[in-house]
A and B are shown apart, each in its own frame.
Chain A
């Protein structure tokens, strides 16, 4: 995927340096006769004096197509719409958000601010006290950061392991495989808000979960923060399984059957086959899923809205104990634009760090 910088191979071009010396003398090789035999058989040599002018450069003939198309300026016409849109809605916002994160008290409506500062980062990290008339928390340390990290480090491993087991099981099936595959894909084609509401009904005080397990736990509305994490994480795992199963299953179907046959001859136990053959064979897919789902989990937001209808277990208002980093950004976007921008930059840095860490670790594992 990343060999874009590969230059056009120079050796593809044909250089006629051998004939060059002869050309200078005005002797051209008759290509149809092969070897040049000067003197012996005059008919073999075409002595065509085309020009007396000295040839200054060796001729290099590249691929005709590339020669014609090199630096086709028309390409920029095709790229213009996307480049303009990207400049306005992607590149400028990126730079602007970083800038805002260093401004004090940025007003989004007027674009004014009270000077440059580094305090935003200190305030959101709770290193500098900040009192505000508004009820919402302005630092991330109490709720947003711990919640985000809990979500990431619980849902990502759990969902990857579960998806791996399910896809291995599905891969063994011969009949109805397509039907099961479709069923396991269903959560992907749903509205996150809608199913979040369904989960809050399932986990209601008099809901199915409490009834099935004969418990009397308040899971969602008015729940304790840590208890509320259970339905939230379950919901996120449930919602993220389909994509992972799809990727892993299509990966499994491309694994060479020979490895499994060899394992069968050695009578290797199932778990050993899974760890020694399946996981290494699927490593590119697993790594890809790890990177994407780490990023996704760091940006969790809609699941919280669907389940709790707000940043608190009591819905809108109240202590925002279900804050995630992205939730914080959206809640503070209008009132504390500078803080929201600082949080976005922080999120970006964390995601960048984790992505590079994972890519680095995978390289070392492969080496």
Chain B
């Protein structure tokens, strides 16, 4: 079939008894044609690489720009001609930022809130997912459906009343203590239906036989959960932990609303709330500002480098087909 394309039959010599087939443009044997096809394929592959590389560069441009701006002098940042590498590397921007920006305090707050909201979430999630995946009880499926439906409700619906609720607990106000500030930022976030859904899927994949075997051995449901299911679902639990950490690192709105004092705020609030303006002129110094954003971004990147697999799996398993 393929040969027909390339043989020119008008050139076929029918004089005499012999029939000779002449391939057009002499050199084009099957091998050269195959080679040519290969070349065009490589060409399109190279083109794909070029396009993808170009797009990838656009994707990481903000990070690169953040990094180099954080090392530039303010004059260079505001110059008409932008440079792609700082002419004078200003490490002093970072020194200044650590002096002005109370990074350690925000960092401690964020880590404390992240740890305790993660622990709480893990406990409620594991218990609920176990009940939904393993135990039989009346109304299980309809209750789970209600759980799933709550995911459609925008969080903003809850924020208003939750604010009122924590206010009525006395956790908000000018006399707010550190513990109260932490509680308001931790307790409401122990509810995560999405993670229950994710973990339930994981628990359901664990074969029934293991459960029956544990029952034969006289194990209780709880020790089965602790000794068999949790270790088997460890990758999902790690994913949940990391995503929860990232979520706390990114949370901005709720901490901004409920904290009364700067010392209780989280890292995002600290970053946006601090002014990096020059004390004399009042103009925002982008060098300092970008140095602070680098400091905030780097821990997340480190987390990503270490746990790439878990993060991408946790995010990617976002519930297509149950």
- A residues contacting B by CB (< 8 A) are 1-2, 4-6, 65-66, 69-76, 78-79, 81-82, 85-86, 88-94, 96-97, 100, 108-109, 111, 166, 169-170, 172-173, 180, 182-195, 197-199, 201-202, 204, 206-208, 211-212, 238, 241, 243, 246-247, 250-251, 284-285, 288, 292, 295, 298-299, 301-302, 305-306, 309, 326, 329-330, 333, 337, 340-341, 344-345, 347-348, 351-352, 355
Contact = CB atoms under 8 A, between A and B. Distances in A.
B136 A344 contact: no
Contacts of A89: 158, 162, 165, 187-188, 191
B62 A344 contact: no
Chain A, interface SS category: helix
B289 A97 contact: no
B252 A94 contact: no
Contacts of A192: 250, 252, 268
Contacts, number: 269
Nearest to A177: B52
Contacts of A78: 127-128, 130-131, 135
Given A184-B59, A191-B300, A94 B286 contact: no
B319 to A, nearest CB: 7
Nearest to B221: A74
A201 B257 CA distance: 26
Contacts of A212: 82
Contact of B59 (A81, A187, A355): A187
Interface string B33-51: 0000000000001001101
Contacts of A69: 135-136
A180 B52 contact: yes
A348 B65 contact: no
Q: Among A180, A194, A251, A337, which residue has the most Cβ atoms of chain B within 10 A?
A: A194
A295 B128 CA distance: 26
Given A1-B321, A246-B315, A246-B316, A72 B163 contact: no
Given A72-B135, A194-B293, A243-B315, A172 B140 contact: no
Interface stretch (B10-18, B20-28, B86-94, B147-155): B147-155
Nearest to A194: B293
B158 A93 contact: yes
Contacts of A94: 153, 157-158, 161
Contacts of A182: 308
Contact of A92 (B161, B293, B303): B161
B271 interface: yes
Interface string B148-184: 0010111111111111110110000000000000000
Contacts of A326: 156
Interface in B268-322: 268, 271-272, 286, 289-290, 293, 296-297, 300-301, 303-304, 308, 311-312, 315-316, 318-322
Interface stretch (B73-81, B95-103, B233-241): B73-81
Given A1-B319, A4-B142, A82-B124, A166 B52 contact: yes
Contacts of A292: 318
Interface in B171-211: 187-188, 190-191, 196, 208
A164 to B, nearest CB: 13
Contacts of A201: 65-66, 69, 77, 286, 289-290
The 7 closest A-B pairs by CB, nearest first: A1-B322, A93-B161, A4-B141, A78-B131, A194-B293, A75-B135, A75-B137
B150 A247 contact: no
